[in-house]
Structure 1
Amino acid sequence: MREYRVLSPTAILGYGFPEASFRSGLAREPHLIAVDAGSTDPGPYYLGAGISFTDRAAVKRDLELIIEAGLTKNIPVVIGTAGGCGAEPHLMWNLEIIQELAREKGWQFPLGVIHAELTKEQVLQAFRKGKISPLYPAPALTEEEIISAEHIVGQMGPEPVMDVLSRGARVILAGRAYDPAVFSAPAILEGYPRGLAIHMGKILECGAIAATPGSGSDCLMGTLKEDCFIVEPLNPARRCTPTSVAAHTLYEKTNPYLLPGPGGMLDLHSATFTQVNERAVMVAGSRFVPGETYAVKLEGAKRVGFRTVAIAGCRDPIMIAQIDSIIEAVRERVEDNFKRNGFNYYLHFNIYGKNGVMGKLEPLKEIHSHELGIIIEAVAETQEIANTICSFARSTMLHYGYPGRIATAGNLAFPYSPSDFKAGAVYHFNLYHLMEVENPLSLFPREILTAGEGLSCQR
């Protein structure tokens, strides 16, 4: 029975991997090296600002090892969601690193580049034709939200990658991509079942996180067959189990059986997870069910203001016992002080040691903390207003006179000087919607360059 082997070096390009694990994977003669380079997990800032959340030197290190192995062993290399978010600035950033490596190493190879940033006009036209719908729990879209977005990307499926591969690219750098797409596209092109290929890609996209002990900085090997696939970590300190692999299948999903993606749904009602040896798990029964229409997920981010934060600690048990009422009193004092200015701002207090992680969802209402960590956050339409609100809230809390107060020198301890940090622009995701398309290739312009010739890539 034929098989297709895919090496996933790491959860996200730039997170690193042990060279010993990578060499072990190469010894198994993979047909593909694929890696996801991004995520929405770090929040909207990086998409809105057009910068990567991964470090350049770390990304360059990973790419050097991965591309060198691919070229030496004639293995295609596919990179998805370039630069962390996959918009045009992120794609160019990642492309520059590859071109820099090619010049330094003397490489020349066909490099496929797939763009994923959409123009506002493209999105507006689709919106006006009724082709865009909210992806729960996103609200209904408006033209104002589309226009206000700094960057809008479409999440490509496997088809653009398949197209560029079929045209001879040795390395493919893709903009925003459905995570399993870069792992599954070559196998689908080879005629393997789409459901199994996508499900295997879902497991491989986070590297060895699907193993136990899990790690996002280690390698995982996937072997796809006609009726199943097998996943196995390449570090002998790790092993896959049915529980670890099934758990990762559910990762970031609201329904354990139906996993939506570009063009359809992964149906796992009949999926089975079987231990085949001490370290490997076989998965069978995964099916892909095409949708009535092909939909691409849109992601967009807009700037909503500027942020200033102050970090402090409190160890006074009298203050800790009254922290909620003190916060409300500080809010009221800030509001009263600036009411004549008409400032539009957001003031938030994150209290670690009480409910700093879960906020209102925290089930433990009574705390016994001997100290609290306090983060004061102000967001406003300008950096200057955010600075003013944060500074005044911080000084008010520092000297606030609460019932039973004994010490008068100050209520807070500041670990840093200056105490306030100007965090700059703040972004929100404002597009998280589905866009119907007639052709899965239509939103994603593709080109093939010769890496090492100093070419730049423009739309």
Structure 2
Amino acid sequence: MTPSTDPAPQVRVLSPSGMLGAGFAPETIEYGLTLNPDVIAIDGGSTDSGPYYLGAGVAKTTAAAVRRDLDILLRAAAGAGIPLLVGSCGTSGTDSGVDWVAGIAESVMAEAGLDLRIARVYSEQDPAFLKEELGAGRIRPLAPHGPLEPDTLESCAHIVGMMGHEPFADAIEAGAQVVLAGRATDTALAAAVPLMRGMPAGPAWHAAKVVECGGQCTTDPRAGGVLATIDAGGFVIEPLDPANVCTPASVAAHMLYETANPFRMREPAGTLDVSDATYTALDHRRVRVEGSRFEPAVQHTIKLEGARVTGYETVSFTGIRDPYITAHIDRWAALLRTLVTDRVRQTLGLSDDDYALDIRLYGHNAILEAADPDTAPPREVGVMLLVNAPSQATATAIAKVANPLMLHLPLPEMQYLPSFAFATSPAETERGPAYEFVLNHAVDVDSPTSMFRTHHAHEDTHV
């Protein structure tokens, strides 16, 4: 894909929401269409919700919510004659996630009488191929990870490569009206059409970063998405709800979101630099940004994400309101850990190395732990016991050993037996397999699209 030789004077990107299935008001899309967008771009997921969705290959969103959003967006794209781009389908961008979203889209189009050409772009990676790349010295770690071992690749339930804008652009040039892609950078889908039409890379990538989460760059993120208008000198951000507002601060602040450096952000093709960007209010609700730059990379890279099973989890939750125990809750939690560990060794014959035990004190320090400056005794505490073991049966057995202690454990000096309250019956809930991210590495590639496969439904061909 090469940029247009006759650049458009401006390109408009409509971003309905931060994630497909998160919902938005239909009237915001109707208003957005009056602004003559050139593309609708919406992300389908990310790693925000942890490794489970990649490891299990399932979505965090319900099919009904995705269907509702797609029904509105497919009709909008068809009516306006513009492409609809979705990245990281099915939350993590697995092949099954792409097919899941595509199946919903095809069902919506059949019911609505729409005939749009869909391209599916797959991003899952074969461990055997990656082992060859590793052996050739083409895979390197990203901080804080160290060198990659071949066995790590084999241990992953799923591995995806994070694509840039190029597979989206190629699919559009091949005639796709709807592009449903696997794992992609959050910005790639919003930058694709502006770059195709000759917009400068600096404004295109910066605008894409600002709109990646829809209305999060506004003063009321609940009010819906935004529209970015990119031109040769910069871009303008406008909310899709006429009552909503963008300010220079709300737009500039989005470079603080999910970035290690608020001025520089790496994409597969290079680095966005906004250190000289200026943010100017055009009126009470629109902001213009100028001065963004993009530094092309010497080496194009594709980031890898992979997740593997770490064990099986069982969780138990009890509530404590006894004022004496809540006043000494840290000492009580330490006693609970000691007694559970001792009883598991005695009854199940398991040592500390055979399982993991996590005790979280909600209402006290479950989130900040020792960093919490509040030392006042909590009024009530929710105690969550999380057990991770090599099998589900073992995890549940350990939680059951803890059950009597989580119901009536007194501190040694107490002369009565306290009673606590389990949140559920049975007290133990089996969570199934637990996953961890194990890949944070980049692959050096000769082509931005070589690690991805595109299927065009109408032609029934793979690229």
TM-score tier after normalising by the smaller chain length: over 0.9
For the pair 1:123 / 2:130, whether they are aligned, the reply is yes
Which residue is equivalent to 1:29?
A: 36
Which residue is equivalent to 2:443?
A: 435
Which residue is equivalent to 1:90?
A: 97
Give me the whole-angstrom Cα distance separating, in 2, the residues matched to 1:94 and 1:139: 35
Pick which of 343-352 and 200-209 moved more.
Answer: 343-352
CA shift in 2, pair 1:72/1:395, >3 Å: same
Normalising by structure 2, what TM-score? 0.94
- The alpha-carbon deviation at position 409 of structure 1 amounts to 5.0
Structure 1, residues 322-350: CA drift from partner, whole Å, max 9, x if none? 22222222222222223362351111111
Give me the whole-angstrom Cα distance separating, in 2, the residues matched to 1:249 and 1:218: 19
- Contact 2:255 2:263 (C-alpha < 8 Å) held by counterparts: no
CA shift in 2, pair 1:21/1:445, >3 Å: same
Pick which of 317-326 and 25-34 moved more.
Answer: 317-326
- The alpha-carbon deviation at position 97 of structure 1 amounts to 0.6
Identity rate of aligned residues, in percent? 36
Which residue is equivalent to 2:331?
A: 325
- Contact 2:203 2:235 (C-alpha < 8 Å) held by counterparts: yes
For the pair 1:198 / 2:208, whether they are aligned, the reply is no
Question: Which of residues 234, 237, 260 in structure 2 aligns to 1:231?
Answer: 237
For the pair 1:298 / 2:298, whether they are aligned, the reply is no
Which residue is equivalent to 1:373?
A: 382
Structure 1, residues 280-334: CA drift from partner, whole Å, max 9, x if none? 1111111110112111111100011111111111111211222222222222222
- The alpha-carbon deviation at position 446 of structure 1 amounts to 1.3
Structure 1, residues 14-39: CA drift from partner, whole Å, max 9, x if none? 01111111100011111111111111
The letter for the 2-side match of 1:101 is V
Note the residue ranges of structure 2 that are not aligned, 5 or more in a row: 1-7
Structure 1, residues 392-428: CA drift from partner, whole Å, max 9, x if none? 2232232223134254252x21232222111111000
- Contact 1:376 1:394 (C-alpha < 8 Å) held by counterparts: no
For the pair 1:73 / 2:83, whether they are aligned, the reply is no
Question: Which of residues 131, 148, 154 in structure 2 aligns to 1:147?
Answer: 154
Which residue is equivalent to 1:351?
A: 361
- Contact 1:311 1:374 (C-alpha < 8 Å) held by counterparts: yes
Secondary structure of the residue aligned to 2:90 is helix
Aligned residues: 452
Structure 1, residues 114-152: CA drift from partner, whole Å, max 9, x if none? 110011112111111222222222233211211100000
The letter for the 2-side match of 1:75 is I
Normalising by structure 1, what TM-score? 0.95
Give me the whole-angstrom Cα distance separating, in 1, the residues matched to 2:99 and 2:172: 20
For the pair 1:395 / 2:404, whether they are aligned, the reply is yes
Note the residue ranges of structure 1 that are not aligned, 5 or more in a row: none
Question: Which of residues 440, 444, 452 in structure 2 aligns to 1:444?
Answer: 452
Give me the whole-angstrom Cα distance separating, in 1, the residues matched to 2:243 and 2:312: 45
- Where does 1:38-53 land on structure 2 (aligned, <5 Å)? 38-53=45-60
Which residue is equivalent to 1:183?
A: 190
Which residue is equivalent to 2:111?
A: 104
- Contact 1:115 1:445 (C-alpha < 8 Å) held by counterparts: yes
Give me the whole-angstrom Cα distance separating, in 2, the residues matched to 1:135 and 1:174: 24
Question: Which of residues 276, 287, 291 in structure 2 aligns to 1:281?
Answer: 287
Give me the whole-angstrom Cα distance separating, in 2, the residues matched to 1:359 and 1:397: 20
- Where does 1:184-263 land on structure 2 (aligned, <5 Å)? 184-215=191-222, 218-263=224-269
Give me the whole-angstrom Cα distance separating, in 2, the residues matched to 1:409 and 1:419: 18
For the pair 1:421 / 2:452, whether they are aligned, the reply is no
Pick which of 340-349 and 28-37 moved more.
Answer: 340-349
Give me the whole-angstrom Cα distance separating, in 2, the residues matched to 1:422 and 1:382: 11
Give me the whole-angstrom Cα distance separating, in 2, the residues matched to 1:83 and 1:401: 47
Give me the whole-angstrom Cα distance separating, in 2, the residues matched to 1:394 and 1:233: 52
The letter for the 1-side match of 2:451 is L
Which residue is equivalent to 1:18?
A: 25
Root mean square deviation of aligned Cα: 1.7
- Contact 2:252 2:279 (C-alpha < 8 Å) held by counterparts: yes
Structure 1, residues 55-74: CA drift from partner, whole Å, max 9, x if none? 10000011011011111221
- The alpha-carbon deviation at position 458 of structure 1 amounts to 8.4
The letter for the 1-side match of 2:405 is T
Which residue is equivalent to 1:267?
A: 273
